[in-house]
């Protein structure tokens, strides 16, 4: 319902004045009421009364401010609003404080654009490589979290991701040849070597991702990243595209190709987005090095990005080698959203 600022604002002003906050009224050109209140201690309050009925109060303060005093101020404003509006309130809600400029950034967006606050308390590793910014953050809930260019990639809690991108226990990797594209956190490699494959070849372009993960993602990678070659695996530090093209020319095939390079682009203009071009190239080359009875595994993206997922499925239908596919939705703990995974195989 509409709110008359003339009846609401005077009742709130007395509370602001008690806190020795100086008022400045701003011209909204007829779009409700807007005022800012500044205190001697650096507090800033923004009061906005929208003509359609929404009343917002934003309080900014320094981290050393008196929290109990601030709570009392917010409680007083909330109680006064209830009185002034005579109980005609659809909803009243106080949101947790956002911490700006903290030593450790705790806010990261989900794939579909929602803001998530993580309980991170330390940056345990940060490097800028030739390819990306690499951070590993410590979370009390999720263990250490690998973040690449501001995108949450994997936490030590995220075994569900690794299981989903390797078939969720439905595959037998014993004696098989496997190609992993990306996977620098070592999670996929660590799970596969337990099953005694014939050989796993992991192709990761960024040595600095491996350097960070072998020190700070041990719950994910175990000791597999300590050396670039083991009894049943080898890690190649190079761009996977030239290598895939070389394998195609040689007629080399794998029982499994696991693409852990990147999520499906959020952009829904595949003809204009270079990431979609890259994705199509990797898809096509991966299927061409796949054994006739082999399987291709990859992540998709958030289940909420329906248009982008549909476009990806269209790309699967346009490959030079026809494929069938199925998808599975899995909850990855640190993503705080449902994630889609794909399995494809030659027709």
Percent pLDDT > 90 in the chain is 73
Q: What angle do CA 253, 257, 262 make, to 5 degrees?
A: 140
Checking if the pLDDT of 264 tops 80, the result is: no
Give the pLDDT confidence score for residue 135 in this predicted structure. Answer: 97
Give the pLDDT confidence score for residue 7 in this predicted structure. Answer: 75
Q: Which tokens in the block code for residue 329?
A: 């939705």
Mean pLDDT across the stretch 160-184? 97
Rounded to whole angstroms, the Cα distance separating 151 from 142 reads 15
Going by the DSSP 8-state scheme, the letter that residue 82 receives in this structure is H
Better-predicted residue by pLDDT, 336 or 89? 336
Give the pLDDT confidence score for residue 266 in this predicted structure. Answer: 57
Q: Could you tell me the pLDDT band of residue 263, with boundaries at 50, 70 and 90?
A: confident
Rounded to whole angstroms, the Cα distance separating 67 from 197 reads 58
Tell me what the pLDDT averaged over the chain comes to.
92
Rounded to whole angstroms, the Cα distance separating 198 from 178 reads 8
Our measurement of the distance from residue 218's CA atom to the centroid of its chain's CA atoms, rounded to an integer in Å, reads: 21
Backbone conformation region of residue 60, classed left if phi is above 0, alpha if psi is from -120 to 50, else beta = beta
Give the pLDDT confidence score for residue 256 in this predicted structure. Answer: 98
Helix%, strand%, coil% for the chain, nearest 5: 30, 35, 40
Burial class of residue 51 (count of CB atoms within 10 Å of its CB; 0-12, 13-18, 19+): middle
Checking if the pLDDT of 215 tops 90, the result is: yes
Catalytic residue among 260, 273, 284, 324: 260
For the chain, how big is the Rg over CA atoms in Å?
27
Give the pLDDT confidence score for residue 265 in this predicted structure. Answer: 65
Q: What tens digit of pLDDT does each residue of 16-69 get?
A: 998 899 999 999 998 889 999 999 888 999 999 988 888 999 999 988 888 898
Rounded to whole angstroms, the Cα distance separating 35 from 9 reads 10
Q: Residue 4: CB partners within 8 Å, gap ≥ 6?
A: none
Give the pLDDT confidence score for residue 228 in this predicted structure. Answer: 97
Q: Could you tell me the pLDDT band of residue 226, with boundaries at 50, 70 and 90?
A: very high
- Contact 222/156 with Cβ under 8 angstroms? no
Mean pLDDT across the stretch 73-101? 87
Q: What tens digit of pLDDT does each residue of 116-139 get?
A: 999 999 999 999 999 999 999 999
Percent pLDDT > 70 in the chain is 96
Describe the strand order of the beta sheet including 44-49 as a list of residue ranges. 22-26, 33-38, 44-49, 55-60
Give the pLDDT confidence score for residue 90 in this predicted structure. Answer: 81
Is there a catalytic annotation at residue 260?
A: yes
Checking if the pLDDT of 259 tops 90, the result is: yes
Checking if the pLDDT of 286 tops 90, the result is: yes
Rounded to whole angstroms, the Cα distance separating 337 from 110 reads 7
Taken in order of first residue, the domains within the chain and their CATH numbers are 5-85 (3.30.160.110), 156-346 (3.40.50.150)
Q: What tens digit of pLDDT does each residue of 148-168 get?
A: 999 999 999 999 999 999 999
Give the pLDDT confidence score for residue 41 in this predicted structure. Answer: 82
């Amino acid at each position: 319902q509409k709110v008359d600022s003339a009846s609401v604002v005077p009742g709130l002003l007395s509370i602001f004045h008690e806190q020795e906050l100086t008022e400045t009224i701003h011209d909204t050109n007829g779009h409700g009421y807007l005022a800012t209140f500044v205190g001697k201690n650096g507090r800033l309050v923004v009061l906005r009364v929208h003509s359609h009925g929404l009343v917002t109060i934003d309080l900014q303060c320094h981290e050393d401010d008196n929290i109990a005093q601030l709570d009392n101020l917010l409680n007083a404003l909330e109680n006064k609003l209830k009185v002034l509006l005579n109980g005609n309130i659809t909803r009243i809600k106080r949101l947790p404080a956002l911490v700006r400029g903290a030593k450790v950034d705790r806010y990261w967006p989900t794939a579909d654009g929602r803001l998530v606050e993580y309980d991170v308390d330390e940056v345990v590793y940060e490097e800028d490589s030739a390819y990306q910014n690499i951070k590993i953050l410590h979370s009390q809930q999720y263990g250490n979290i690998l973040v690449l260019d501001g995108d949450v990639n994997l936490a030590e809690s995220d075994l569900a991701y690794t299981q989903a991108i390797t078939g969720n226990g439905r595959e037998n990797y014993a004696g098989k040849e496997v190609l992993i594209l990306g996977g620098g956190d070592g999670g996929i490699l660590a799970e596969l070597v337990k099953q005694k494959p014939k050989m796993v070849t992991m192709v990761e372009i960024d040595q600095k991702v491996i350097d960070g993960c072998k020190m700070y993602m041990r719950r994910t990678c175990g000791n597999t990243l300590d050396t670039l070659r083991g009894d049943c695996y080898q890690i190649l530090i190079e761009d996977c595209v030239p290598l895939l093209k070389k394998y195609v020319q040689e007629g080399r095939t794998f029982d499994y190709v696991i693409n852990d390079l990147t999520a499906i682009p959020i952009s829904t203009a595949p003809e204009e987005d270079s990431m979609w071009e890259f994705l199509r190239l990797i898809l096509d080359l991966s299927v061409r090095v796949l054994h006739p009875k082999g399987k291709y595994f990859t992540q998709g993206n958030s289940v909420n990005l329906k248009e982008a997922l549909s476009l990806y499925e269209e790309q699967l239908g346009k490959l030079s080698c026809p494929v069938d596919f199925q998808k599975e939705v899995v909850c990855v703990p640190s993503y705080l959203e449902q994630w889609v995974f794909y399995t494809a195989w030659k027709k």
